[in-house]
Amino acid sequence: MAIKRYGASKDNTITNAYRSSLLDTQRGTGSNMGMADVVEVFSIYGEASGSDGLSEELSRAIIQFPIDSISSDRTANRIPASGSVSFYLKMFNAKHVYTLPRNFNLVVQAISSSWEEGTGLDMEEYKDVTYNNSGSNWIQARMSSSGGTDNGQWATPGGDYLLANTYHQYNVAFPEGQEDLEVDISGLVEDWISGTFTNNGMGVYLTASQETYFSSSLGANTGSQSSIIQNTSGSTETYYTKKFFARSSEYFFKRPVIEARWDSRTKDDRGSFYYSSSLAPGPDNLNTLYLYNYVRGQLKDIPIVSTSKLLVSLYSGSTAPTASKLVLYDGNTNITGGWVSTGLYTASMALTATATLPLTLLFDVWHSGSTEYFTSSINPLFYNGFNNAPTEEYVFDVSNLKPQYTRKETARLRLFIRDKDWSPNIYTVATADVINTTLPSASYKVFRLVDDMEVVSYGTGSDRSTYMSYDVSGNYFDLDISMLQADYGYGIKFSYYNNSINDWLEQPEIFKFRVEEK
């Protein structure tokens, strides 16, 4: 699989805003909204003016994710090593009946103190007050320790954040206001995994220039008990209000997640091994082969070889390797292969047709020293020119799709792809197999059938997260079913890069299945 999602472990909205009644001059600094189904970010200027500058009203979202789960998945090789995977924070816009600002920016910044989620719900009158009980608010990060020195308060009202010049800070623009939040926070996640910094989650709030202006002769914040943040470079414009769905939302696919994306493709050319030709550029003459060392159904490193290099030699023959090793394109008879991951080895090579005269099958032999570990066959192909521009059109089928899956499964789905214009007659049906075409650039998406909501989008950008692998049996991909909500039907669609139009082309076929909890 190339996409894995991690839901938030806690979230909350903290605010120093006045209660919704204009007659009420009490702020909601002690309020907790840890169980609300949305989190909220806003800045209000001039709601209640006065000589003491008490017009500042702010709301910030704080959120934390289970980084230990990500670290465990890396240890278990379910996600790749640092540098080979990207982590995206995704939060989803929640529509509401209030005003929505435009042209604003939100900061995503690591929190430096531990905090508690709480069980508050009231986002209007701010009546779910924590006092000194469990739950964070504008003043308090957590319950104070009994008989200890920890009073549970933030060092600065509104949350404690690591300095931007020493830690990762992300700035996300919202030109229209209703956009979802999606930002690459790979550096932050990797530092959490490595233990460089403690995972205390992130704050999401307006930039300093867009949080409301406040100045006091008493100095910044006027002490830790103050609800007001000194901000002499702030805005005299109101930004009210941006809401995101929280982790307790009833809408499964709108809950905030960290999404891991990576290019997981195995590009095994065993089923499309081409002889070198002057018709093709150098890289296209290179073929990559894989050795999959499965032991009792699991990939295992070859004990003696482990992560060391293997040698690969090619032989010709009709039913088995015969005669001597073939001389490869670079003049050698052995290619040095490498270790990719547990139980997976690979080697790349090029070969001219003259090396195998008379033309027969090829056999690749994987060995180290005098020990041979694996032998398989290859049916080589030729590059051919055309006297007209070919039309690349195909028919897709998922050959092993089941009618339903459980959320505990990871499904490996295999495709059968044939030319669209293949027209069998009586003779060809009786004597020829339909060739399974392998497409090197093909992608998939998943959507919910009841409302066409995209659950997994085509990942054809830089991370190539939904590109499909291929081997001797054709294209395939792994789908983590735990990402999908149970008791719904889903559809899969495919697209491929069509060289005749120099663009991606989506197939019309929809392949349907249902997800059950267990």
* Residue 119 in domain: yes
Q: How many C-beta atoms surround the C-beta of residue 381 within 10 A?
A: 13
Q: How confident is the model at residue 217 (pLDDT cuts 50, 70, 90)?
A: low
Percent of the chain predicted with pLDDT > 70:
92
In this structure, the answer to whether residues 287 and 220 fall within a common structural domain is no
The boundaries of the domain holding residue 152 are 1-252
How high is the pLDDT of residue 104?
A: 98
The yes-or-no verdict on residue 508 having pLDDT over 80 is yes
For residue 510, give the 3-state DSSP assignment: coil
What total of structural domains would you count in the chain? 3
How high is the pLDDT of residue 49?
A: 47
* Residue 223 in domain: yes
| Terminal Cα-to-Cα distance of the chain (whole angstroms) | 20
* Residue 48 in domain: yes
Question: pLDDT by residue (tens digit) across 369-406?
Answer: 889 999 999 999 998 887 777 778 899 999 999 999 99
What is the model's pTM? 0.91
- Alpha carbon distances (Å) from 457 to 186, 252, 444: 20, 16, 8
In this structure, the answer to whether residues 239 and 195 fall within a common structural domain is yes
In this structure, the answer to whether residues 273 and 198 fall within a common structural domain is no
Out of 346, 378, 410, a domain closes at 378
In this structure, the answer to whether residues 42 and 178 fall within a common structural domain is yes
- Note every long-range contact of 223-230, with CB atoms under 8 Å and residues 24 or more positions apart, other chains counting: 224/153, 224/154, 224/155, 224/156, 224/157, 225/139, 226/157, 227/16, 227/27, 227/29, 227/138, 227/139, 227/157, 228/16, 228/53, 228/54, 228/56, 228/157, 229/16, 229/56, 229/58, 229/156, 229/157, 229/158
Q: What is the largest CA-CA distance in the chain?
A: 97
* Residue 216 in domain: yes
In this structure, the answer to whether residues 205 and 323 fall within a common structural domain is no
Q: How far is CA 372 from the centre of its chain?
A: 39
Question: pLDDT by residue (tens digit) across 20-60?
Answer: 765 567 889 999 999 999 999 999 987 654 444 457 899 99
Q: How confident is the model at residue 226 (pLDDT cuts 50, 70, 90)?
A: confident
The tokens of 139 are what?
């003043």
The yes-or-no verdict on residue 296 having pLDDT over 90 is yes
What is the CATH classification number for the domain harbouring 476? 2.60.40.1930
How high is the pLDDT of residue 369?
A: 84
How high is the pLDDT of residue 148?
A: 62
How high is the pLDDT of residue 178?
A: 97
In single-letter form, the type of residue at position 515 comes to V
* Residue 259 in domain: no
Question: pLDDT by residue (tens digit) across 344-373?
Answer: 999 999 998 887 777 679 999 999 988 999
In this structure, the answer to whether residues 243 and 324 fall within a common structural domain is no
